[in-house]
Structure 1
Amino acid sequence: MNLLSALLKRYWLQLVFILLMAGAFIAGNVWSDRG
C-alpha cells in the first residue's frame, strides 16, 4: 500500500492525463455513433 501511495504521488499527473485522454476518446466514439 505504501508503494502504491508513492507511485500515485509521483505519477498522479500522468494518470489524470491518461484518464482524460481515454474519456475524450470514448466520448468521441459515442458522439460519432449518435451521428
Structure 2
Amino acid sequence: KNVEEQTNIEVEKEFIDLPSDPKPPVYKGQKVN
C-alpha cells in the first residue's frame, strides 16, 4: 500500500507540473476515485 501511495504522489506532481489543459480535470476525477 505504501508503494501505491508513493505512486499517487508522483502522479500528483506530474498533474501539478502539467499546464492548464483539459486533461487535468480527468486526472483529478480518476484520483478521487
TM-score by length of 1: 0.49
Higher relative contact order (CA 8 A, sep 6+): 2
Bigger Rg, structure 1 or 2 = 1
Structure 1 runs of 4+ with >2 Å offset: none
Residue of structure 2 equivalent to 1:25:
9
Q: How many residues align?
A: 19
RMSD over aligned CA atoms reads 0.7
Structure 1's unaligned 5+ residue stretches are: 1-16
Aligned-residue sequence identity (percent) comes to 5
CA offsets 1:1-35 (integer angstroms, 9 cap, x no match): xxxxxxxxxxxxxxxx1000000000000011012
From the two aligned structures, give the one with the greater helix fraction. Answer: 1
TM-score by length of 2: 0.51
Q: What is the identity, as a one-letter code, of the residue corresponding to 2:11?
A: A
